[in-house]
Structure 1
Amino acid sequence: MKTLLRLLLTLSLVAPVLARAQAANSEEEEAGDVSEVDKDRLGPLRERVPPVSGHLFLKKGRFEFSPSATVSLRDAFFTKYLFGGTLTYHPMETLGVSLRVGYAVNSVAGAAQICTFSDGTDGGTRGCSSPSMKELDGKAPGQLKLLGGVDVQWAPIYGKLSLLAEKFVHFDLYGVVGASVVQYRGPELDPTLALTAPAKNYMTPGGNVGVGLRFFFNRWVTLRTEVRDLIYVEKSGNPDKENYLRNQLLFELGVSFFFPSSNPES
């Protein structure tokens, strides 16, 4: 009997302690025992940076008109500034077909030099100076006038860049390959008239390959940059010399406008 009384007394003392411990554990689970994922979901960073998913910008079934300016890189004789535009239709999200045209303004490159040699009576000294446009007109290779072509774009990469952990810039990276028509200025091809006839304009086929990048401002305006290698052949005008195979690097910067001006949510 005494043993039973002691057991009941012990239980009456321990029961309130166990009840308080169980209540504390329940409050801790409700208030503080959350997973790391839940902490991220409920934390202040979640409130400042909303989740970003899907494509902000869709191109399928839309036209892209892009006025642009282009400058030549690493040219020995002429620095070319091309002004023109591109019209692209996107039958698929990753595929586009473009028509391109540009007009070139040429200036003498800073690296160009004309050197004169003596007749040997004074030790063969020589002098070099920067040429004028008149001295190079039609005589040096690389003097572009007009440029047109048809291109195919393939854009397999769509991504997002985080700016200061609060804003995202959407972009896509694409490759481009196409056929070109090049008008350039060169010498008279008739040897009997080469010394007296003025320079002429010639047309020649060519090709180009390059990579480009679009940064999306909103659902219908983008900033576009491209680097291309334009490949074509110029006639030398001298039967004793081979024709010139030209590899001209071009850097292009343009702004694209997409039509229709809106696209559905992805």
Structure 2
Amino acid sequence: MKLALRLLLALCLVAPVLGHAQSTSEEEEAGDVSEVDKDRLGPLRERVRPVSGHLFLKKGRFEFSPSATLSLRDAFFSKYIFGGTLTYHPLETLGVSLRLGYAVNAVAGAAQICTFGDSGAGDTRGCGSPTLNQLDGQAPGQLKLLGGADVQWAPIYGKLSLLAEKFVSFDLYGIAGASVVQYRGPELSTPTGAKNYLTGGGNVGVGARFFFNRWVTLRTEVRDLIYVEKSRTTDSYLRNQLLFELGVSFFFLNGSES
């Protein structure tokens, strides 16, 4: 009887060691099974799913995008440009677009106009915010109409994780093209007159699209508009105008499934 009890006790002590050795041997043969099971069964496996491929395809599709644009860092006029862009995408990363916009001008908050007293020791000078009539045609940067043709190149496509549960697809693109600009400037034949001028120019910039679904995106762009203006002091000079654009794009046709 005592011998049987001793044998039973010995088996109880040896069994865990044998079980551990067998488990270790199986893990060595199959890899780190415990970590694989942890990833497969853990809560993050259900919340974060693998992401691959393009949710949104642009190749062979037209994109129509109404937009609103705001000028940045303008000394005289704050410009609000309302218009739209029509783009055709012959390739997934390449687009060719036409754009048109109408500009509404307001006096910039930083604009000042100063008056001087008679010359002499008692000269006084006062400065204040000008009216739109005072600046009309006399200050640079008074845009009226914008048009142009651009080329878009979108080499970057990605996805953003929102709270580890939902993904938003986006692409980043560069843009460059030629522009036609109508602006209001001084009538050089008179001391105070103003008239509309038409001139050529170009623009370069960067943009991004955030895809709501296969048909609608939110689009943002920052562009530098470069064109030539006339002035009373010089025949013409080069101007740079930084523009921020926000629009919603609607895509037509099914696009390539390749």
TM superposition score category, shorter chain reference: 0.7 to 0.9
Compute the displacement of 1:13 (Å): 10
Compute the displacement of 1:45 (Å): 1.0
Partner of 2:48: 49
- Is 2:232 aligned against 1:232? no
2:60–2:256 CA contact under 8 A, matched in 1:
no
**Alpha-carbon deviations, 1:97-151, whole Å to 9, x = none?**
0000000000011111111112223433211111111111111110000000000
Compute the displacement of 1:169 (Å): 1.2
Compute the displacement of 1:71 (Å): 0.5
CA distance in 2, matches of 1:123, 1:20: 105
CA distance in 2, matches of 1:234, 1:224: 30
Uncovered stretches (5+) of structure 2, i.e. residues with no partner: 1-6
Compute the displacement of 1:38 (Å): 4.0
Partner of 2:3: none
Compute the displacement of 1:93 (Å): 0.7
Partner of 1:107: 106
**Alpha-carbon deviations, 1:150-203, whole Å to 9, x = none?**
00000111111111111111111100000000000112132xxx136x421110
Partner of 1:4: none
Compute the displacement of 1:249 (Å): 0.3
Partner of 2:246: 253
**Alpha-carbon deviations, 1:231-261, whole Å to 9, x = none?**
000111x3x524231100000000001112x
Partner of 2:191: 195
**What letter is aligned with 1:254?**
G
Partner of 2:237: 244
- Is 2:217 aligned against 1:222? yes
Task: Give the 3-state SS of the residue equivalent to 2:40 in structure 1.
Answer: helix
Partner of 2:202: 207
CA distance in 2, matches of 1:78, 1:100: 22
- What is the number of equivalent residue pairs in this alignment? 248
Partner of 1:151: 150
Partner of 2:164: 165
Compute the displacement of 1:16 (Å): 9.3
2:146–2:181 CA contact under 8 A, matched in 1:
yes
CA distance in 1, matches of 2:19, 2:212: 54
Compute the displacement of 1:27 (Å): 7.3
Uncovered stretches (5+) of structure 1, i.e. residues with no partner: 1-10
13-22 vs 240-249, which moves further = 13-22
CA distance in 2, matches of 1:16, 1:140: 97
- Please say which structure displays the higher CA radius of gyration: 1
Partner of 2:87: 88
1:224–1:255 CA contact under 8 A, matched in 2:
yes
2:59–2:256 CA contact under 8 A, matched in 1:
no
**Alpha-carbon deviations, 1:198-243, whole Å to 9, x = none?**
421110000000000111111111100000000000111x3x5242
Compute the displacement of 1:17 (Å): 7.9
Task: Give the 3-state SS of the residue equivalent to 1:225 in structure 2.
Answer: strand
- Is 2:68 aligned against 1:72? no
41-50 vs 145-154, which moves further = 41-50
2:59–2:255 CA contact under 8 A, matched in 1:
no
Task: Give the 3-state SS of the residue equivalent to 1:75 in structure 2.
Answer: coil
**What letter is aligned with 1:214?**
R
Partner of 2:177: 178
CA distance in 2, matches of 1:205, 1:123: 47
Seq. identity, %: 79
